[in-house]
Structure 1
């Protein structure tokens, strides 16, 4: 009865998305001085969910990643377009990446809040605190 509660799957997907986006932001920051490096970002979670093709069907992104564990959706990591580049061809702005890092923390905190709140509702429904 409680094996497949959608709210827990959604919280897990949001936390997974936040983790993946944090990884991309960290890669961008690490390559801020690399010539011809293009900043990348992950498709916003809202767009992934609203597209309807996420369906939370597991999809392996590459063999051996996290012991071949599949992500619940396609992350859509792409190069950021319409940004200025440095003379060396690099398009990473550390200020922008720092703002993205703050946004990622908020996403992760939101995922944890949804999970904790849902767990509290479930416990209350079961008569436990």
Structure 2
């Protein structure tokens, strides 16, 4: 077994995505008073398996989210008189969401590692 199991890879990619989102949010907060600055965010995390996005077989199941961290400008956000679209309250909520996503990915990774160690008898 020389390759990383799929669950480890997925958890690592989810953690990287959350870190990229946190970096974009920090940039938004740093530019909260910059005239004309447009708030940005990262596209959602999408799970892609063998080139095709995962699909839901039932509407009640969870949808997949993207692997790539594509950064985009937020559209339709009200701007301040100086043209800035950063809302600190919104950025705080997005930061909390990114932090939770990162912690969730690390928990999945750690739990999978514990299962792997238990199966090896360590």
Q: Which TM class, normalised by the smaller chain length?
A: 0.7 to 0.9
| TM-score, normalising length: structure 2 | 0.82
Q: Is the 8 A contact 1:40 1:80 kept in 2?
A: yes
Q: Look up the match of 2:47.
A: 49
Quote the offset at 1:3 in angstroms: 2.1
Give the number of the structure whose residues are more often strand, by fraction.
2
Q: Is the 8 A contact 2:21 2:41 kept in 1?
A: yes
For these two proteins, the number of residue pairs brought into alignment is 109
Q: Is the 8 A contact 2:17 2:68 kept in 1?
A: no
Quote the offset at 1:2 in angstroms: 5.0
| TM-score, normalising length: structure 1 | 0.78
Task: Give the root-mean-square deviation of aligned CA atoms.
Answer: 2.0
CA distance in 2 between counterparts of 1:51 and 1:78 reads 24
Correspondence list, 1:33-72, <5 A: 33-45=33-45, 48-49=46-47
Identify which range, 2-11 or 98-107, moves more after superposition. 2-11
* Displacement over 6 Å in runs of 4+: none
Quote the offset at 1:11 in angstroms: 0.9
Specify every segment of 5 or more residues in structure 1 that has no aligned partner in the other structure, as ranges: 56-72
CA distance in 2 between counterparts of 1:122 and 1:54 reads 28
Residues 52 and 39 of structure 1, relative CA distance in 2, 3 Å threshold:
farther
Quote the offset at 1:82 in angstroms: 1.2
Of residues 65, 80, 84 in structure 1, which corresponds to 2:74? 80
CA deviations 1:67-90 (Å, max 9, x no partner) are xxxxxx531100011110001110
Specify every segment of 5 or more residues in structure 2 that has no aligned partner in the other structure, as ranges: 54-66
